[in-house]
Amino acid sequence: MQGLHQVGRTAHGRRRVRRRGALAAVIAVLGLAAASCTSAGDPSTGGAPVPAGNPVSAADRAQAALADCPNPSGAPVAGGPLRGLTLNCLADGRPIDLTAALAGKPALLNLWAYWCGPCAEELPLLQQFSDRAAGAVTVLTVHSDPGTAKGLSRLTGLSIHLPGVEDPDTKVRNAVGAPAVLPISVLLRPDGTVAKLIVRPFKSVDDISATVAAELGVKA
């Protein structure tokens, strides 16, 4: 009889361990969801993305006062996933060959959207990091939503003047095989190949600096 009681207690203990493990997994998933935004579109429209083709005026671009996108340096590029991808510059709307424009120095591409809360917390850190890096690393924002005018307005409100590109069809995310969450940072080597995908928001300027140093070998 005592043996049966012991078996019962052991089985009960195992069930409790399994329940605790399941609960821990749920908490971890919820924590990741809280730290990131799913790329489901503008929550103010019930999750539907802003229709493509929304007009963006020259006044919208001028008010944002963004840095111009880099021009191609002629540096050699390898066969990375972004090679040949052309997107429009947020500053003036002109098309740029992404890999050619970034070639020659390490780069950090930050995928974000105007409706993403964690993105709004991270962007000022990226601006500070870019200022600290003083040109050693190109920091380029990638607005991954069709609502370009709203993206420009968001950058204006946050006083972000980093160069950026419009990516209404999430071409960068698809090309690098990133999950459908925001923000995401793509670290590129000088030849345009991907060194690392960072699928989380940065927590501080030092966090960005340490990650860039570890993955790209550039201290800033």
State the pTM of this model: 0.80
Rounded to whole angstroms, how far apart are CA atoms 138 and 110?
11
pLDDT tens digits for 74-100? 999 998 999 999 999 999 999 999 999
Better pLDDT: 22 or 58: 58
Sequence-distant (6+) residues with CB within 8 A of 73 are 103, 104
pLDDT tens digits for 119-159? 999 999 999 999 999 999 999 999 999 999 999 999 999 99
Out of 3.40.30.10, 3.40.50.10440, 3.40.50.150, 3.40.50.720, the CATH code matching 43-216 is 3.40.30.10
Q: Where are the domains of the chain?
A: 2-35, 43-216
Q: What is the pLDDT of residue 55?
A: 78
* Confidence band of 37 (pLDDT split at 50, 70, 90): confident
Sequence-distant (6+) residues with CB within 8 A of 63 are 152, 156
Is residue 89 within 8 A of residue 96, CB to CB? The reply is: yes
Q: Is 34 helix (H, G, I), strand (E, B) or coil?
A: helix
Dump the DSSP string for 36-50: SEESS--GGGTTPPP
Q: Is 94 helix (H, G, I), strand (E, B) or coil?
A: coil
pLDDT tens digits for 5-28? 444 454 455 555 455 544 343 333
Rounded to whole angstroms, how far apart are CA atoms 61 and 196?
31
Rounded to whole angstroms, how far apart are CA atoms 62 and 59?
5
Is residue 182 within 8 A of residue 188, CB to CB? The reply is: no
Q: What is the pLDDT of residue 20?
A: 53
Rounded to whole angstroms, how far apart are CA atoms 89 and 20?
49
Q: What is the pLDDT of residue 85?
A: 97
In one-letter notation, the amino acid at residue 57 is S
Cα Rg of the chain, angstroms: 22
